[in-house]
Amino acid sequence: MKNLLWIILLLPLTPLFARDKKLGGYVLDRAAFGKIQSYCVDTQNMPPREVKVINQFVARESRPEGLLIQLSWHRLVSCRDGAPDAIVRLEFPHDDFSIFSRHDVNGVLFVFRPGSPSPIYETQEVSIPHLFNGDIDGFDTKVLEHEDLYFVVRILIHDWQKLSENLDAAAF
């Protein structure tokens, strides 16, 4: 029964692991997206609990063996430091009308040019059902939010690598 539960949880995520040539997100400004060399993670105007989850994720995944190392962009510690080419915003829109439970934990990633209100890139929304009986603001939610962050960053890295390959191939 426990294995079946995990299969149900991971089934919606299988397209993320497929070796598909399609992008997992939406590039809304290809030229600007292709020029990114530095970025910062924006957590302004977010609830303190979500800021803490995002900061913990970024700190852990910025280590030498972490996920963010796979992204060739240079991360600035703060959006005030220097002039980043891009501002990354990670969000957790909550779905209160899930078929699995009262709450789902969703994750999405946006990339903006500094000063622009419109994203140049966004991932598809990743949704991990919240099947636990624990408090929605409790440990289970933080774990699921971390998993959402992991998957949306994987989508970003995959898309960046795909677009970089296409740019390299066009140069020849």
* Residue 11 forms part of a structural domain: no
Determine the 3-state secondary structure of 131 from DSSP.
Answer: coil
* Residue 9 forms part of a structural domain: no
CATH number at residue 166: 3.30.160
Strands (E), the chain: 25-27, 38-42, 74-75, 86-91, 94-95, 104-112, 119-123, 126-129
* Residue 54 forms part of a structural domain: yes
- Among 91-100, 120-129, 146-155, the least confident range: 91-100
Instruction: Write out the residue range of the structural domain in which residue 49 sits.
Output: 25-171
End-to-end Cα spacing for the chain: 53
Determine the 3-state secondary structure of 48 from DSSP.
Answer: helix
Model-wide pTM > 0.85? no
As a whole number of angstroms, the distance between CA 47 and CA 12 comes to 27
* Residue 118 forms part of a structural domain: yes
Determine the 3-state secondary structure of 118 from DSSP.
Answer: coil
pLDDT at residue 139 tops 60: no
Per-residue pLDDT reduced to its tens digit, 46-56:
999 999 999 99
Torsion, Cα of 124, 130, 131, 135 (10° steps): 180
* Residue 13 forms part of a structural domain: no
* Residue 104 forms part of a structural domain: yes
| Domains of the chain: total | 1
